[in-house]
Amino acid sequence: MSKVLQHGDRSWQALLITVSILVLVLMLAIGWMLWRGSSGAHQTFGWGFLAPTSLVSWDPVNDHFQAWPFIYGTLLTSLIAILIALPISLGIAIFLVELCPAWLRTPLTWMVELLAAIPSVVYGLWGIFIFLPVVVTPLGNFLAETLAHLPWIGILFSGPMSASGSSRLAACLILAIMIIPTISAVSRDVFMAIPNAQHEASLALGSTLWETIWQVLIPYGLSGILGAVMLGLGRALGETMAVTMVIGNSIEGSASLLRPGYTMASVIANEFAEAVSKLHTEVLVEVGLVLFFMTMLLNILARFLVWRVARRTPLEVRT
């Protein structure tokens, strides 16, 4: 298509292109600034900063820093949040797509999405004063009694439940609530992208609706659902305020869900403003850098997976 450029059009195009490039540059700039801001930390600690260790070493006074407790806290809370959120989100997606009467569909969808619209601090406030005493503390005590003596997973439930309820468990539960809208919305899109012919083929063979969903639709959309989980995981990794308000913000050396913990996002939120030394600041920035990379990689992978299901229409009939 040949373009007849008119007066002023060249500058317009140039403006558009410049701005678009700047937006791209922004993304790279974030990574770069984080790298620069943590240069001192790289030089001092190298890769060992991130390595898993049982040592509890976060000593701003003596400049000994080790990020593993936060990485552990972030991964543990996020992964368990996914475990809790996934069945619920899939259930919601299945209900909305397959079972819900048409008039109820939009209101219910909006209500689920409203869960994502509530600000994180409000979740945190409710978490501290209501959720912790009413739900988390009793639940934690119950889990401590029943599960602490089991062989492998007992470690996760050992130790007395923290008195105030501030614990990794609380963070897991609140995170689960907050990521349900993400996972269910994307899963819904995945289900709706599955061709109707698959539905019909399965039902025409004498399957029940659940068998169709479980044995045909979910396998068909599996990579998309995986993408939904990754998007949810990305959100959980970066969630700051609600987590920091209920997780207790302390490093104890315990791996248990029932004890207070720390995540990468919450340590930055908590300590950055009062960082004791330049190295302390840089170390926190490096934690931010790690968080940035993790969420970026997850996001890219997730979009790719979701894109794959939409593209996978059945092969055109070849003759």
Judged by beta carbon, residue 61 or residue 117, the one nearer other proteins is 117
The reply to whether 163 sits near other proteins by the rule CB under 8 A is: no
Report the residue from 57, 200, 277, 308 that binds other proteins according to the rule CB under 8 A.
Answer: 200
The reply to whether 107 sits near other proteins by the rule CB under 8 A is: no
Contacts of other proteins in 40-69 (CB under 8 A): none
Stretch that binds other proteins, among 59-67, 146-154, 156-164, 198-206 (CB under 8 A): 198-206
Site pattern 218..257 for other proteins (x: CB under 8 A): -xx----------x--xx-xxxxx---x------------
The reply to whether 211 sits near other proteins by the rule CB under 8 A is: yes
Site pattern 252..291 for other proteins (x: CB under 8 A): -------------x--xx--xx-----------x--x--x
Measured from the CB of residue 65, what is the shortest distance to other proteins in angstroms? 16
Measured from the CB of residue 67, what is the shortest distance to other proteins in angstroms? 15
One-character DSSP codes across the chain: ------TTHHHHHHHHHHHHHHHHHHHHHHHHHHHHHTHHHHHHHGGGGGS--S---EETTTTEE--HHHHHHHHHHHHHHHHHHHHHHHHHHHIIIIIS-HHHHHHHHHHHHHHHHS-HHHHHHHIIIIIIIIIIHHHHHHHHHHHTTSTTGGGGG-SPPPTT--SHHHHHHHHHHHHHHHHHHHHHHHHHHS-HHHHHHHHHTT--HHHHIIIIIHHHTHHHHHHHHHHHHHHHHH--HHHHHHSB----S---TTS-B--HHHHHHHHSTT--SHHHHHHHHHHHHHHHHHHHHHHHHHHHHHHHHHH-PPPPPP-
Report the residue from 81, 94, 161, 170 that binds other proteins according to the rule CB under 8 A.
Answer: 94
Residue bearing tokens 């501030």? 166
Judged by beta carbon, residue 258 or residue 287, the one nearer other proteins is 287
The reply to whether 1 sits near other proteins by the rule CB under 8 A is: no
Binding-site residue total for other proteins (CB under 8 A)? Answer: 110
Measured from the CB of residue 152, what is the shortest distance to other proteins in angstroms? 28
Contacts of other proteins in 129-158 (CB under 8 A): 129-130
